[in-house]
Structure 1
């Protein structure tokens, strides 16, 4: 079974790079894109749809018995026990406005556990990747979360989307972070923010609700990079989504307390 995971791990990196290259061609002419609004502050462009189509076609050709769950198209079932969870362009609002903060995210789930994660940033040519039990890497070089840093010495990523209620919880969270001497940071791409935690650029990341295609790859990456992640069932995340709390080993408990206090409010 390890060889089956490894073959998919290798393929996921290649597919993410292919998808990123296609996405980049659209991004370089972002002002000509056809854009639709799915809901309040939730957009989809022709790039999202065509990049996802490329990813799905590549997966189906290489692993025809695998299931696929993506943001833009209906899920397809499989018989192999592996499910690919894909976001063709995470950070679409950035993408359609020419802001270079977006990525391709691919996770592979087996037995309710994420076993492969890839987050590719084509603009900066950073392909972050991890296989469970084998460490985390960026372009083949090992990456690690920050170590020995208090909340007052770094930035904490904070996410927010229109799926959550009017915003009181995130306002409370930001208030608590700043009162504790911390700095909050948001870039509009949850998946890329999670990769930044794994790379040691952010202390952690908190969001009240994320979809599986935005977070599963990054959560695995952070675990493999020495960080801590709030435990979740990957199948349940695919079905319902859920809150995401990740951080360095030293700060996880403190950040979780801030999140618990904010989201209960």
Structure 2
């Protein structure tokens, strides 16, 4: 699912450096929209809880445009503008604003998520929170960092030693999450939901949360978080199996010491 350190070429490093610049530029634009969100027109997707605004679309356009200038042969997959096949095996996977419902109602748990794939493996991931100016970034085999400083997942051995992040959408029945919550709480654990998968997965990488579980998620929400957690020493389920990139999958990610217990609670075997 991931590239190895020996697979990181100068071409990949160049893209990783670019990604750090472009995600900050996109974050500046997103924060400007957030500060004048009352001016935005809100559209509803098929799920009434799934909303979008011009901010989402423009931020993705900025990321694609700035990246295409330097790497015109790369492909793109984004939540708002779909997939654009490239002429090489690099693919940028973009969620321009993860946590749009929070964004549009004036709450600050939202972020920008960008992952880079080479072939069928994740090469790099970045999550930027403009509200706190926190940039979580990971390049395969080179560790995970927050604003340039190394980060690591928790060393917890029990779900009682930390707080779990969870997510849910109307793409799946509530019954797919409730049994897990019952097992977690019965085991002495606790959970939060802040509305942004990418942000909560970044918190797992940074040791703020013990793990994250969602019964179904899309690739643009979680790919950056997956490599952040892996590079921070944590564990992630095999999200890309069975065409997870295009169809989505469950995601379970956690500190390594609690992964076995959480896999039992969620029923995820890999």
Q: TM-score range by the shorter chain?
A: over 0.9
Cα offset, 1:24, TM superposition: 0.0
**Matched residue, 2:4:** none
* Aligned pair partner of 1:36 in 43, 57, 63: 43
Q: In structure 1, what is the Cα distance between the partners aligned to 2:86 and 2:54? A: 27
Cα offset, 1:149, TM superposition: 4.4
> Gaps spanning 5+ residues in structure 2: where?
1-7
Q: CA RMSD in A?
A: 1.5
* Aligned pair partner of 2:221 in 214, 218, 223: 214
Cα offset, 1:164, TM superposition: 1.2
Say if 2:77 and 2:94, in contact at 8 Å, map to a contact too: yes
Q: In structure 2, what is the Cα distance between the partners aligned to 1:25 and 1:170? A: 35
**Matched residue, 2:210:** 203
How many aligned positions are there? 261
TM-score (norm 1): 0.95
Q: In structure 2, what is the Cα distance between the partners aligned to 1:69 and 1:18? A: 19
Q: Are 1:22 and 2:39 an aligned pair? A: no
Say if 1:34 and 1:45, in contact at 8 Å, map to a contact too: yes
Say if 2:239 and 2:250, in contact at 8 Å, map to a contact too: no
1:126-149, CA deviations, whole angstroms, 9 ceiling, x for partnerless residues? Answer: 000000000000100000001134
Q: Are 1:110 and 2:126 an aligned pair? A: no
Q: Are 1:92 and 2:100 an aligned pair? A: yes
1:203-229, CA deviations, whole angstroms, 9 ceiling, x for partnerless residues? Answer: 000111110000000000000000011
Cα offset, 1:32, TM superposition: 2.1
Q: Are 1:185 and 2:192 an aligned pair? A: yes
Against the structure 1 CA distance between its residues 234 and 25, is the aligned structure 2 distance closer, same or farther, given a 3 Å change threshold?
farther
TM-score (norm 2): 0.94
Q: Are 1:69 and 2:55 an aligned pair? A: no
Q: Are 1:121 and 2:157 an aligned pair? A: no
* Aligned pair partner of 1:237 in 234, 244, 252: 244
Q: In structure 2, what is the Cα distance between the partners aligned to 1:112 and 1:19? A: 26
* Aligned pair partner of 1:48 in 35, 43, 56: 56
> Within 5 A, what are the aligned runs for 1:158-173?
158-165=166-173, 167-173=174-180
> Gaps spanning 5+ residues in structure 1: where?
none
Per the alignment, in what secondary structure is the counterpart of residue 214 of structure 1? helix
* Aligned pair partner of 2:17 in 2, 10, 30: 10
Q: Which runs of 4+ in 1 moved over 4 A?
A: none
Against the structure 1 CA distance between its residues 234 and 37, is the aligned structure 2 distance closer, same or farther, given a 3 Å change threshold?
same
Cα offset, 1:235, TM superposition: 8.9
